[in-house]
Amino acid sequence: MTQLPAQAPTVASTVRDIVRTGAAGEKAPAATLTTWGQTFMSQLYGPQTAVRYECRPRYTTEPWLEALPSDVLQARKRGLEVRALYLHPKAQPPTKKHRLREGVCVDCHEAEWLAGPECTPPPPSRDQRAALPFDPFWFREPLQALQQIAATKVINHYDCLKWDRECTYLIERLDQYLKDTQA
Ligand SMILES: [Zn+2]
């Protein structure tokens, strides 16, 4: 009996391996789990090339026949409708992609080798002050920062963003407070 050459894992072969491992009640080694994950990521979410092209005359219901490369290239000229067949079902594209920088996502902070296809950043932490009554003390720090910026005429990019965010928040709370107290 001749041994079949070892083939690169596919989605189907991976699902089969997972089901068999589960059915046998076996524990899968970490390296195997990694290979399964990588197979799904590359085969489902990675770029895919069609395994076969088929064509038929346009606006007909004739059976699909295998297309020649020239049929695909000149489909319009030849009045053909072309369809591409893929080995694997196309996965839904993620609603939000990771933005990787040096192997780590800047939004969800997942490492590239750990991250799934979908980027789900943690929800922004709620500002604790929102639950508190308005407190004029909150203005102290931003005003001190403003005083310092006025004296040095220097502000770095990070502080710019920080104080802009802080001021926006405080102005909103102040407006809300004035509205509430004048009503
Ligand atoms: Zn991410």
Q: How far is the CA of 140 from the centre of ligand 1 (A)?
A: 36
Q: At what angle do helices 30-40 and 11-23 cross, to 10 degrees?
A: 140
Distance 148 CA to ligand 1 centre (A): 37
pLDDT for 183: 66
In the reported structure, the alpha carbon of residue 94 is separated from the centroid of ligand 1 by a whole-number distance in angstroms of 11
Q: What Rg, from alpha-carbon coordinates, does the chain have?
A: 29
Q: What's 50's DSSP letter?
A: -
Residues 61-99: tens digit of each pLDDT: 999 999 999 999 999 999 999 999 887 777 777 888 899
Q: How much is the average pLDDT of 25-48?
A: 88
In the reported structure, the alpha carbon of residue 122 is separated from the centroid of ligand 1 by a whole-number distance in angstroms of 10
The whole-angstrom separation of Cα 32 and Cα 30 is: 5
Q: How many angstroms separate the CA atoms of 17 and 28, rounded? A: 10
**Of 31, 15, 35, which Cα lies nearest the Cα of 23?**
15
Give the Å distance between the CA of 96 and the centre of ligand 1.
Answer: 8
* pLDDT at position 2 over 50: no
On the question of pLDDT at 42 being above 60, the answer is: yes
Q: What are phi and psi of 149, to 5 degrees?
A: -60, -40
How does pLDDT run across 116-134, given as a tens digit for each residue? 888 888 887 777 777 777 7
**What values do phi and psi take at 67, rounded to 5?**
-95, 145
Distance 47 CA to ligand 1 centre (A): 19
3-state helix, strand, coil in the chain (%, to 5): 45, 10, 45
Spacing, Cα 81 to ligand 1 middle (Å): 39
Amino acid 8: pLDDT:
78
